Amino acid sequence: MLKHNKYVYVEVTKEEGKKKRIYYVKVRVLKSRDNSDPQKYIVLDLVRTSKPRTAKVLSVDVLPTDVKQLILSKV
């Protein structure tokens, strides 16, 4: 269960040959930081292939570039 919007999932699309795979990476969000600050997002090790039912899902394009690179290296 995800409480008080502390955690979100980031949707990452990765092409493997002819197939497109969609992964969801769990990210902790610190509310006290500015939106453009890369330290606002803490990338966790949880990677899912199914879409979470109740969680908020963000696109990887919304995040700062430092966080994008870190998420793409996890997948």
Largest CA distance in the chain: 42
* 59's tokens: 């696109």
- pLDDT recorded at residue 2: 65
CA-CA distances (angstroms) from residue 6 to 16, 17, 29, 42? 31, 35, 5, 10
Cα 54 from chain centroid (whole Å): 15
Q: pLDDT tens digit string along 33-59? A: 887 888 999 999 999 999 988 889 999
- The model carries a pTM of 0.86
